[in-house]
Amino acid sequence: MSSNASTLTELLIRERPALLRLVRRILGSDSSAEDVIQAIWFKARGVDGSVAIDNPRAYLYRLATNLATDQGRERSRQARLLADHYLWGPDEVLSTEEQAMAQDELQRVLAAADHLPEPTRTIFRLNRLQGLTQAEIARRRGVSVTTVENHVRAALQRLAWARSGR
């Protein structure tokens, strides 16, 4: 583990209660706050040690803010996708059975998305759930657009299998 990762991990342990309050305030609930804190821990442990972090505390709080904001956006986008799925128009009404089947399909796909391998899962979420373009993701992740395209394609292939219910 790099010295940055070690410093951030130790700081996370000390600052956990305050970080949890920050994340809860951003998300507006407790439900996902622990998930965000866990994501911070994973990110902190993976920080490269080649360049020293001048202010580890500020870095950690910025990381918490960014991850909580991303989580909130993803939750909002999922709610919109679910609403769009059911709002076909005034003249099209889904039967109760069709609604139940659609809900089941959506849950299968979301569960399968949670089990995609990294970095495919993160790239897929950034693109399809948070609405970032492939070029934005490539810049953010420091990879080529082709790499992003390949990860999105792999995710869609795996999720198509989940969508079919097999």
* Domain match, 68 and 107 both: no
CATH number at residue 54: 1.10.1740
Cα(112)–Cα(155) distance, integer angstroms: 9
Q: Which two tokens stand for residue 42?
A: 């994973």
Identify the domain boundary among 73, 96, 117.
Answer: 73
Quick one: CA torsion of 141, 142, 146, 150, rounded to 10 degrees? -40
Identify the domain boundary among 46, 73, 100.
Answer: 73
Residue-wise pLDDT for 93-128, tens only, equals 667 887 788 788 878 888 888 888 999 989 988 888
Q: What is the pLDDT of residue 83?
A: 63
* Domain match, 65 and 134 both: no
Query: Tell me, what amino acid is at 39?
Result: A
Q: Tell me the whole-structure pTM to 2 decimals.
A: 0.50
Task: Give the number of domains in the chain.
Answer: 2
Is the residue at 35 inside a domain?
Answer: yes
Q: What is the pLDDT of residue 165?
A: 60
Q: What is the pLDDT of residue 86?
A: 54
Does the pLDDT of residue 70 top 90, yes or no? no
* Domain match, 145 and 105 both: yes
Q: Look up the domain containing 155 and give its range.
A: 88-166
Cα(115)–Cα(122) distance, integer angstroms: 11
Mean pLDDT of 152-166: 80
φ/ψ of 9, rounded to 5, equals -65, -45
Residue-wise pLDDT for 12-66, tens only, equals 999 999 999 999 998 877 677 888 899 899 888 888 888 889 999 999 999 999 9
Does the pLDDT of residue 166 top 90, yes or no? no
